[in-house]
Each structure stands twice: as C-alpha cells, then as structure tokens.
Amino acid sequence: MRTEKPAQRAEIGDAQFGIPQGLAAEEQIVVAPDDCASRWGNTGSLVWSTPAMLGYMEQACVGALGSHLPPAYMTVGTAVTLRHLAPTPVGMRVIIRVELREMVGRRLTFSFTAADGRETVGEGSHERVIVERARFEDKVRLKDAGGTRP
C-alpha cells in the first residue's frame, strides 16, 4: 500500500527523479523459523530476530522506491538506527511500514515501524543513497578481482 505526496527531486548529474516526499509502503510477513534469533546463534530462541527485522525493513524501502527509479539506477543502504522493542514468536504476522521522511540530494531517509498485531515490536530510521547501477557493479567487480578503486 503506497501513499504519495507532492514530488521533490533527487538529482544525480543530469538525472532527476520525481520521488514523492512521504512515499510510504508496507511489507507483511509471517515469522518463519529462518527469521528467528536461533539462526544467529541464540540457540532455542524461536522469536523474530533483529537481523530479519532489518532485512524486511530494507526490502520495504527498496520496494517503495522501485517504480520511481529507472533501471539504470538503484539505492544502497548507508545507515540504520533500529530499536527491537518486543519479541514476536514464529507464526505471528508482522507488518513493516516505511515512510520517506527526508530527501537531500541523492540521500533518502526513511522512518519505519514493525508491529505484530499486539504491539509495536520495532522502530527506527534507514538512509539509502541513489547510485548508478553500472558504476556500482563495476566497483564490485573490481573489488572481487582484487583491484582497487581509482
């Protein structure tokens, strides 16, 4: 579900994107065993893990921006502040809501909440930066080949 407000512009060189301030999206999941803290070394803890919360939040941000960026561009995460407030057991539904709060140049800052139907279980903010896909992938290939960035 998305809601949009009047567009502001994020600019990279000659490229401009009409990304609406207040862009919002939500992701719904059901906590699965692979999402649990036990996967990350907390043996026997069958509750939604902080790394899973972070991943789903990031996925919701990327999904919200998807139709606003041409294929030659993408976003990468650069910062996160996350508070995991309460446990959520396997099988319970969680709704992750993200909203674009600020745009400065190519930096986008989202706020997010995660709620399991009984309470808010997580909240925070996430910064993403718009980058040129080919240039980013070139840097990855160079690094993978053992080279250094110019």
Q: Under DSSP, is residue 120 helix (H, G, I), strand (E, B) or coil?
A: strand
- Is 4 an annotated catalytic residue? no
- Is 50 an annotated catalytic residue? yes
Q: Alpha-carbon distance 114 to 27, whole Å?
A: 9
Rg of the chain over Cα atoms, rounded to whole angstroms, equals: 17
Q: Alpha-carbon distance 115 to 96, whole Å?
A: 7
Specify whether the CB–CB gap between 95 and 48 falls below 8 A.
Answer: no
**Structure tokens belonging to residue 15:** 């490229």
Q: Alpha-carbon distance 122 to 137, whole Å?
A: 32
Catalytic residue, from 68, 75, 84, 126: name it. 84
Specify whether the CB–CB gap between 97 and 28 falls below 8 A.
Answer: no
Catalytic residue, from 26, 27, 58, 99: name it. 58
- Is 43 an annotated catalytic residue? no
Catalytic residue, from 4, 50, 109, 113: name it. 50
Which active-site residues does the annotation give? 50, 58, 84
